[in-house]
């Protein structure tokens, strides 16, 4: 963006006709496939210098993305071992939920904050928060401390993704955007595929804490690199930073966090403690006033809400956001609980379970890239999304069936992961284009940000919901096969550590493993159901002709 322009708080975050913000390797390369070249504007010498140096900046920007994607698959691979070590396995879903919850609500704010304070300071802040969160994860001795540290990590992780993507839009001409985004997608893919094996290897050797502590060192390197080598163009505005801050929807973000936390905490406590507990009831009931307050703030109070009513409640856009929510809920829950199945039922080592995530991670990236290529050729997104999502949902069924197979269940999951997550990746690519095609140029930035908000929110809810089902089925099955008091004791101990199962007498261990298998299978079935609802949402998408 030219520094000779006057940027206001109402200016779109991205000047290109089709911006994108990414939270995973599926931060699609397809922006250029739905884009129309705009007349060139005079550019300041500062921007021209920055664009000449963009290749030198790319490794600096890529390091932050690598850390974000690496962390997510590291945690997916070792969350069971973390929960067991901290004697709080029943709360392991919060390791992911806390991260996605804060990332969800902070991502839309970073775009505005980077307009106020600048891209570089916001990126440094995000890296610092991510490093502090990793340090807390590595040093904590309790699950509560770990969850708090993961929440801090989410604040940093969301910022790293958003600011890097906005910087790309500032510095790279539209015609070159796909190439550079492809480089960053490749970096993200490397992080995603290497996270699982690295996490598992650390668990088996020097301990899971080092999977976080090593990231602290990488964050320090990234902070130094950004400080000395990243020189984005400055932004000029006649509006004071105090006035701009007043227009940022902090209250809406806080209410969204409280709303989601209340319902997830209530569901978690009901499953692990009691549905009749006053704390459970109060938490679930508090969801209603929180969500009503959130909707009032977003529609009546906030001067610039990050979920504007005319975008969220538009029929076609709402359908896109629902697909993002349910699609990511099913996808993320699969990624999170497949390692549980590998370790508990198939008795794999943590490293083997981490390697088992590679087919899913690679397939998702391939799917987003393939989706971009197809969209560029056919110029239509509706039928591509519907067919791809339907295929992805149907081919996910073998993953849900796998726990019932006496042999070959690992191979079944590997193969099904490939044929499931490739079309799911294509659907996510199509959803971004569907959203961009159905909004005006002025609304593209906020509409895209809402897309990633719903994805992150879906990820948090999906992991928590599947964990709830797993725990509830395990408890019910054990009570049906054992003395109720004995069953309650086992459930309590299993909710603390997976190692407890290994130390049981052979006959009792067989019973417990069988019930745990049923619990995981029920969770996988819920994942398929979530993907199916996402597919159904596509029916209400609105096809728009894509610009060539």
Look at residue 532 in the predicted model and tell me its pLDDT: 96
474: three-class secondary structure by DSSP: helix
Q: How confident is the model at residue 139 (pLDDT cuts 50, 70, 90)?
A: very high
pLDDT winner (highest mean) among 103-112, 131-140, 151-160: 131-140
The stretch 538-545 carries a mean pLDDT of 84
| CA separation for the pair 506, 487 (Å, rounded) | 16
Percent of the chain with pLDDT over 70: 82
Pick from 79-88, 127-136, 406-415, 467-476 the range whose average pLDDT is largest: 127-136
Mean pLDDT, rounded, of the chain = 78
Q: How confident is the model at residue 33 (pLDDT cuts 50, 70, 90)?
A: very low
- Residue 452's pLDDT is what? 78
Lowest-pLDDT choice from 67-76, 244-253, 288-297, 449-458: 244-253
Assign 525 a pLDDT band (cuts: 50, 70, 90): very high
pLDDT band at 60 (very low <50, low <70, confident <90, very high): confident
What is the rounded (10 degree) CA torsion for 38, 40, 44, 48?
90
**Which of 490, 253, 531, 526 lies closest to 394 in space, CA to CA?**
531
pLDDT at residue 19, as a whole number? 39
Q: What does the pLDDT read at residue 523? A: 92
| Cα dihedral 175, 176, 180, 182 in deg (nearest 10) | 50
The pLDDT tens digits for 388-405 are 999 999 999 999 998 888
pLDDT in tens, 12-24: 433 443 333 333 4
Q: What is the pLDDT of residue 459?
A: 85
- The answer to whether residue 37 scores a pLDDT higher than 50 is no
Q: How many CA atoms lie within 13 A of 217 on its CB side?
A: 4
Question: pTM of the full predicted structure?
Answer: 0.77
pLDDT (0 to 100) of residue 34: 38
DSSP 208: T
| Residue tagged 């106020």 (tokens) | 116
Q: Place 546 in a pLDDT band, splitting at 50, 70 and 90.
A: low
pLDDT for the residue 18:
39
pLDDT grade for 25, boundaries at 50, 70 and 90:
very low
pLDDT at 40 (0 to 100): 46
* Lowest-pLDDT choice from 172-176, 262-266, 308-312, 428-432: 172-176
- 195 CB contacts (<8 Å, ≥6 apart)? 69, 70, 71, 72, 73, 74, 75, 76, 77, 354, 357, 361
Q: Which CATH class is domain 50-233+241-249+302-538?
A: mainly alpha
Angstrom distance (rounded) from CA 457 to CA 108: 12
Q: Categorize the per-residue pLDDT at 230 as very low, low, confident or very high, splitting at 50, 70 and 90.
A: confident
The 3-state DSSP class for residue 390 equals helix
Report, as an integer, the average pLDDT of 211-221.
Answer: 90
pLDDT of 535? 95
pLDDT, residue 6, reads 37
- The whole-number pLDDT of residue 272 equals 67
Q: What is the pLDDT of residues 279-325, one digit of tens each?
A: 888 988 998 998 899 888 888 887 777 777 778 888 888 999 999 99
Pairwise pLDDT comparison (46 vs 155), residue with the higher score: 155
Say whether pLDDT at 54 is over 50: yes
CA end-to-end span of the chain:
23
**Would the pLDDT of 162 be above 50?**
yes
Model confidence pLDDT, tens digit, residues 439-452: 877 677 677 778 87
Going by C-alpha positions, the residue among 531, 527, 524 that lies closest to residue 404 is: 524
pLDDT at 349 over 90: no
Distance from C-alpha of 536 to C-alpha of 534, rounded to nearest angstrom: 5
User: How far apart are alpha carbons 170 and 7 in whole angstroms?
Assistant: 13
For residues 425 and 181, the model is more confident at 425
Phi and psi, residue 365, nearest 5° = -65, -45
Nearest to 27 by CA among 368, 294, 311: 368
Higher pLDDT, 249 or 55: 249
Calpha distance 515→509 (Å, rounded): 10
Nearest CA to 372 among 93, 177, 80? 177
Residue 435 has pLDDT above 50, yes or no: yes
Confidence of residue 341 (pLDDT cuts 50, 70, 90): confident
Give me the pLDDT at residue 22, please. 36
Q: Are 20 and 445 in contact (CB under 8 A)?
A: no
Per-residue tokens: 289 = 């006033």
Q: What is the pLDDT of residue 327?
A: 93
């Amino acid at each position: 963006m030219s520094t000779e322009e006057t940027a206001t708080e109402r200016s779109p975050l991205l000047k290109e006709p089709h911006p994108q913000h990414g939270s995973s390797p599926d931060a699609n390369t397809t922006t250029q496939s739905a884009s129309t070249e705009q007349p060139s504007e005079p550019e300041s010498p500062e921007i021209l210098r920055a664009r000449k140096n963009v290749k030198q900046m790319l490794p600096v920007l890529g390091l932050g993305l690598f850390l974000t994607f690496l962390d997510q698959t590291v945690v997916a691979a070792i969350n069971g071992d973390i929960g067991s070590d901290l004697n709080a396995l029943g709360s392991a879903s919060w390791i992911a939920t806390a991260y996605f919850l804060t990332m969800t609500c902070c991502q839309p704010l970073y775009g505005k904050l980077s307009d106020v304070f600048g891209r570089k300071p916001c990126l440094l802040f995000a890296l610092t928060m991510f490093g502090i969160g990793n340090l807390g994860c590595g040093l904590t001795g309790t699950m509560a401390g770990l969850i708090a540290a993961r929440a801090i990590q989410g604040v940093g992780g969301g910022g790293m993704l958003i600011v890097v993507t906005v910087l790309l839009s500032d510095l790279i001409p539209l015609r070159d955007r796909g190439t550079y985004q492809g480089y960053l997608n490749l970096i993200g893919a490397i992080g995603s595929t290497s996270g699982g094996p690295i996490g598992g290897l650390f668990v088996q050797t020097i301990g899971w804490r080092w999977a976080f502590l090593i990231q602290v060192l990488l964050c320090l390197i990234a902070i130094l690199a950004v400080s000395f080598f990243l020189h984005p163009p400055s932004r000029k505005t006649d509006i004071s930073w105090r006035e701009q801050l007043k227009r940022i929807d902090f209250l809406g973000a806080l209410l969204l966090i409280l709303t989601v936390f209340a319902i997830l905490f209530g569901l978690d406590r009901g499953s692990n403690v009691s549905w009749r507990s006053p704390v459970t009831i109060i938490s679930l009931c508090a969801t209603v006033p929180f969500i009503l307050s959130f909707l009032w703030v977003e529609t009546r109070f906030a001067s610039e809400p990050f979920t504007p009513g005319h975008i969220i409640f538009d029929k076609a856009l709402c359908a896109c956001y629902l697909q993002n929510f349910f699609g990511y809920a099913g996808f993320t829950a699969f990624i999170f609980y497949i390692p549980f199945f590998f370790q508990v039922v198939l008795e794999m080592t943590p490293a083997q379970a981490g390697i088992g995530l590679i087919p899913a991670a690679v397939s998702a990236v391939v799917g987003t890239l393939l989706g971009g290529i197809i969209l560029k050729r056919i110029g239509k997104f509706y039928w591509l999304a519907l067919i791809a999502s339907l295929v992805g949902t149907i081919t996910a069924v073998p993953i849900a069936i796998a726990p019932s197979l006496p042999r070959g269940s690992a191979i079944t999951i590997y193969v099904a992961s490939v044929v499931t997550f490739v079309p799911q990746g294509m659907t996510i690519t199509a959803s971004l284009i569907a959203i961009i095609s159905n909004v005006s140029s002025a609304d593209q930035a906020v509409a895209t940000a809402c897309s990633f908000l719903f994805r992150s929110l879906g990820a948090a809810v999906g992991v928590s919901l599947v964990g709830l089902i797993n725990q509830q089925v395990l408890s019910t099955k054990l009570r049906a096969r054992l003395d109720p008091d004995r069953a309650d004791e086992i459930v309590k101990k299993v909710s603390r550590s997976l190692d407890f199962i290994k130390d049981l007498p052979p006959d009792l261990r067989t019973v417990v493993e069988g019930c745990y298998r049923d619990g995981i299978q029920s969770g996988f079935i819920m994942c398929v159901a979530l993907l199916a609802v996402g597919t159904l949402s596509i029916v209400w998408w609105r096809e728009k002709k894509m610009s060539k």
